[in-house]
Structure 1
Amino acid sequence: MKRSAGWICLCVLLLALSAVLPTGCANIIPPSGGAKDTIAPVLLQSTPRDSTRHFTANRIVLNFDEYVTLDNYIENVIVSPYQKKPPQIDAKLRTITIKLKDSLEANTTYTINFGNAIKDVNEGNIAKQFKYVFTTGDTIDNGAISGRVQLAATGKIDTTLLVVLHNNLNDTAIHKLPPRYYAKLDGKGRFQFTNLPQGRFNMYVIPNDYNKRMDDSTKLFAFMDSSVTISAPHPNLVLYAFQEFVEKPRTSSNSQANANAKKKTEDKRLKFTTSLSAGNQDLLGNIEFIFNRKLKTFDSSKIILADTNNVPVKNVRYLWDTSLTKITLIHPWPEDTEFKLLLQKDAISDSADVSLLKGDTIRFRTKKESEYASMRLRFSGLDTAKHPVLQIVQGDKVIDSMPITKKEMFWPKYHPGEYFLRILLDDNNNGTWDPGHFWEGKKQQPELVFPADPAKVNLRTIFDSEWDVKIQYDLPPDAPKAAPKAPGNKSTAPSSNKGKPGRRN
């Protein structure tokens, strides 16, 4: 019996070891973490429940299906109608708790829109535009209105702006009172109000400041010409934001004192710089002389543009800027040519009768035509009654602006680079963009600027660039598109084989 018992124990031990120890031919597979979580948090329960009627609570609890966190809820969460005392909102594990700090109005529908504030803890998936709704009355208001906001001067979008609704229809309300409702813009400049009561509102666009009021006419602002009625259907509304006045840079007392001190110790000599770049002159530009002080006298006969043999060049004229600190030399420059500028010391003097320390000779060469591109634009959708003006933009600066009076425009020489094309609707036909007016006198909407189609062109040296440009009189639903590589938008050589890329002769 003892021997049998021993054999049984030995067999059990061997079976146990075979189950635990790996065999030589087994595949070792590392543990898998599973698929990445891409699902946003889902609400399981709310107390009181969403869309509650006759709401009287001051505390709301939201339970989700996973751990959640709040991303800058003070900035992201919007309570409508506007409350002077914002709620306190906390997130812990799977629960978000809202504690209302302000009193609630009778028979009023409230919405708490979290925007993009609610995220899951693990992957940061956003519960986009999550909203909790309740009413202190019998019914949930279902009025809605939507639209978009565009910057009038550029056709661009500023997503930091707010759209506000005032039920006080007096124009001074935007200045004196907080809004009844407000909404943020999405990445495409769109806004939407929901759960609004029936009635009339004035609609404005303002910066996202703490007091939600328009208290400075140098800030971006937009307004509707008339109030909007929530009970009536509306087309997609568009508001055009503008700065009525441009803020002037302020000079502090310290900076003024520093300027006065610098003035006492500055060099008394009359000096200047020129616009020449590394001894080269742009064929499309003029030569500018910038002086360190205002000038009193200027004798153009003592500033001579000459060839390399010191022979004066004809067809030269000068402009003296109204600031009295800049003189411009204008001449039709030939390509790849050497010149001299001969300046006599008494050609110029400042208000203290100080002249140049000595005469000067400045040598330079004009650029070659091969350093430039050419550009031809063919326009479709042209309506000259709208006074369209072509704006050519580089960076944030309008470097060229001209009325579009014909279907084709050509520049034989243009600086190579990337440019944006915009169309200004020049209502008063003065050639420049004019802002709107709201604060003083008659109300007037700003003049509008829209991106052309294509909105972007790229000019290369040596090549002739041709573009078919569609004039748009509205903001496209998506961001301005880069110029497509398609027939009609091409770089070509001016030859009988039009359409084949090549060098200019």
Structure 2
Amino acid sequence: MRRLRHILAPLILLPAAAIILQCAKIEPPPGGPEDKMGPSILKTSPSAGAVKITSSNTVSILFSEGVDHRSAEAACFITPLTDKKPRFKWHGHEMYIIMPDSFAEKTTYIVNVGSSVIDYRNNKMAQSFQFAFTTGDSISDGKTAGMIYQGINPAAGITVGFYDTASNYSYKTFDSVIPEFLTVSGSDGKYAQDFLPRGKFVSLAFKDINNNRRFDYPDEDYGIPNYFVDISPIGISPSIDFYMRRTDTITATILSTSLTSDRLIRVRFSGKLKAKNLAENLKKISMSAVDSSGIILHPSSLFENPDDTLSSYSFYFPNLSEGSWRFALSKECFGSLDTSNIEGSVMQIKFGKDEIQPEIISVSLSGQTNFPDDSIIEINFSEPIDKGFGADSMAIVKLTDSSIVPAVWQWKDDFRLDLSIPARWGESYRLEINQAWLRDMAGNLGGDSIKTYSFKTYSRDSLGAISGTVSRPHNSDSTYQIYLIFSSVPDHKVFQEKLTDSTFQLSLPGGKYLLSGFVDRNGNQKQDLGSLTPFELAEPSAHYPDTVRVRSRFESAGLDFIFK
């Protein structure tokens, strides 16, 4: 009997093992594909467009799925804004917004839900949502829309406020005024504001960090519009775009001031300063005599010290004399709207003998290939140069056969010299700088050797052509110049073309490009993003929606560039 049990045991286990193996068969994990779809809004109460709403103080919004309550409450606001914040309640997927008071008579309410609402898997709403209802008989039908950019990329979650144009606007005004209407850009950078009444508004884009529905200068990034919002009788304002910019809140201090052997005032700052801001504000930089004379000097030029790990500049004061002096500059040089000064310690200026040779710091076109009409050579020196010494002998441009190319000299300042040459297609050039003819203000020569720098121009065979038409902005003055900008991908080399009419045809090196354009209202040949104080509109601009491809020795025709 015992033997029979031993024989039957394996036979009994075989079916069980088969069942276990069958149950262990490998199958795909349960639950299907990962949920990457953000929530949407299914229903509202009052319904969108409802009129003659009776007395109430509650708005409800039903989402398509469960959402993070905090993100939804932060993303939701109703205009007109109230002094007291609304309360929120939830029932399942439905959010209830309870206003502090009953709806006012004959008032249109606009409910906004920003695209920052997330579900339980952190998926965001694809677009912001806006609807309106009124306690009156009708809802205004004015509309405006556009794009918001951070650099060249669309900017999501940016608030756009709309203000009455009756005020004289500056950053202080925007900081203290609650917008009459508000909307938020979606994940694609697009924004839209509906239900605007007839009239004119000024808009402002800002990153509402503290969620208080107003622009807080200087803590929040902002964008200035390229047009006023003008709700005409047809009810639609043309597209208005914004380019976000960061308020420069540098709180730099002066770490040290010193006199160099070249008789320059070297200043080291605690924060990074932009050379452009300093160069544009030389009259707001000074050396003041610490005596009864009241003498104040301003620098004629400056030079950024490349070998310093901190922000360091050398300033040239031509009439500086020995004695006690104090260096100062306005905070406006930091890009700030604050006009107060920061000052260095009192300096005792006593000149020693200058025996330091001037040096060539950089030559702009060296090692590059350029278009013939871009052949302006910028030479940067380590200290102010004696412009009257050496005349045209210091720098000579030659072709490969050593023939001399005529050059026009232009000193940009004491440190920088521009050479313009009549360059030709497909040529190689050599710049020779004879350091024996390079002399600083103390009489020191640069040396006795000749330094050479080479560059080329494109050959026509290496280029491709691109042509098309340009549609001007709707209300742009026809006398304003339009520029197209081709930025190569991925190295971002920029080619800018001035248009003479509504068509264009130009040659470019083969490759892929991002195309943009702007209307040059002030004639400075660059795109200006507007100003808060004094308030100035940004220059109209546009982006081509696709990457542009240029093929060498071929023409790509039929490109239509449209300013909306």
Smaller-chain TM-score bracket: 0.5 to 0.7
Q: CA deviation at 1:424?
A: 3.8
Cα distance change on mapping 1:361 and 1:23 into 2, 3 Å: same
Equivalence for 2:325: none
2:236 is matched with which residue?
235
Report SS of the residue matched to 1:68. Answer: coil
Equivalent of 2:487, from 365, 388, 394? 394
Is residue 563 of structure 2 the alignment partner of residue 474 of structure 1?
A: yes
Amino acid of the structure 2 residue aligned with 1:315? V
Question: Could you tell me how far 1:467 is from its partner in structure 2?
Answer: 2.1
Q: 1:221 aligns with which of 205, 224, 245?
A: 224
Q: Report the equivalent of 1:327.
A: 417
Q: Distance in 1 between matches of 2:547 and 2:141?
A: 36
Alpha-carbon offset, residue 83 of structure 1: 3.5
- Per the TM alignment, residue 316 of structure 1 is displaced from its structure 2 partner at its CA by 2.6
Superposed, which structure 2 residues align to 1:305-320 within 5 Å? 305=396, 313-320=403-410
Alignment RMSD: 5.6
**Which secondary structure state, in structure 2, belongs to the residue aligned with residue 239 of structure 1?**
coil
* Distance (whole Å) between structure 2 residues aligned to residue 48 and residue 404 of structure 1: 54
Quick one: which amino acid aligns to residue 300 of structure 1?
Answer: A
Q: Are the structure 2 counterparts of residues 303 and 66 from structure 1 closer, same or farther at C-alpha, using a change threshold of 3 Å?
A: closer
Deviations 1:66-115 (A, max 9, x none): 643246346522232223444465879x4666675855563355455333
Structure 1: runs of 5 or more not aligned: 1-15, 476-505
Moved more, 321-330 or 281-290: 281-290
Deviations 1:401-426 (CA, angstroms, capped at 9, x unpaired): 32334856454xx5555433444445
2:500 is matched with which residue: 404, 407, 416? Answer: 404
Cα shift readout 1:246-283 (whole Å, capped 9, x = no counterpart): 98896732356584367699994421133377767757
- 1:293 pairs, out of 368, 375, 383, with 383
Percent same amino acid at aligned positions?
Answer: 13
CA distance in 1, matches of 2:77, 2:370: 55
- 2:169 is the alignment partner of 1:147: no
TM-score (norm 1): 0.63
> Within the alignment, does 1:273 sit opposite 2:399 as a pair?
no
Q: Which residue of 2 aligns with 1:450?
A: 542
Distance (Å, rounded) in 2 between the aligned partners of 1:433 and 1:48: 45
1:164 corresponds to: 161
Is there any run of 5+ residues in structure 2 with no aligned partner, and where? 1-11, 259-265, 269-311, 315-348
Aligned 1:80-479 pairs, distance under 5 A: 80-87=79-86, 94=92, 102-103=100-101, 106-107=104-105, 108=107, 110=109, 112-121=111-120, 124=123, 126=125, 129=128, 142-150=139-147, 158-159=155-156, 161-166=158-163, 169-171=166-168, 174=174, 176-193=176-193, 202-209=201-208, 212-213=214-215, 220-222=223-225, 225=228, 228=231, 233-235=234-236, 237-241=238-242, 252-254=252-254, 257=257, 259-260=266-267, 268-275=356-363, 284=372, 285-297=375-387, 298-303=389-394, 305=396, 313-331=403-421, 332=423, 339=430, 341-345=432-436, 347-356=437-446, 358-367=447-456, 373-380=462-469, 389-394=482-487, 399-405=495-501, 409-411=505-507, 414-426=508-520, 433=527, 447-451=539-543, 456-459=547-550, 463-475=552-564
Residues 104 and 153 of structure 1, relative CA distance in 2, 3 Å threshold: same
- Conserved 8 A contact 1:163-1:204: yes
Alignment of 1:33-72 (within 5 A): 33-36=30-33, 53-56=54-57, 67-70=66-69, 72=71
Question: Which digits, 9 at most, give the CA deviation of each residue in 1:215-256, with x for residues without a partner?
Answer: 68x953237657648xx651353225479x998896732356
The code of the aligned residue for 2:497 comes to: S
User: 1:111–1:18: structure 2 CA closer, same or farther, 3 Å change rule?
Assistant: farther
The CA distance in 1 between the partners of 2:40 and 2:399, in whole Å, is 81
Report if the CA contact (8 A) 2:118-2:125 is conserved. Answer: yes
Conservation of the 8 A alpha-carbon contact between 1:53 and 1:134: no
Rounded Cα–Cα distance in structure 1 between residues aligned with 2:383 and 2:38:
64
Residue 299 of structure 1, CA deviation: 1.5
SS in 1 for 2:267: helix
| Residue of structure 2 in register with 1:500 after alignment | none
Count of aligned residue pairs for this structure pair:
441
**Post-superposition offset of 1:466:** 1.4
- Cα contact 2:385–2:438 (8 A) shared by 1: yes
Helix, strand or coil: the match of 1:376? strand
8 Å CA contact retained: 1:319, 1:329:
yes
Structure with the greater alpha carbon radius of gyration: 1
Q: Matches of 1:24 and 1:33 in 2, distance apart? A: 20
Q: What's the secondary structure of 2:254's corresponding residue?
A: helix
**Higher mean displacement: 414-423 or 256-265:** 256-265
Which amino acid letter does the alignment assign opposite residue 160 of structure 2? V
User: How far apart in 1 are the matches of 2:406 and 2:224?
Assistant: 47
Are 1:81 and 1:111, in contact at CA under 8 Å, matched by a contact in 2? yes
CA spacing shift, 1:134–1:150, aligned 2, 3 Å: closer
1:378, 1:408 within 8 Å by CA — same for their partners in 2?
A: yes
Give the whole-Å Cα distance in 1 for the aligned partners of 2:516 and 2:153: 10
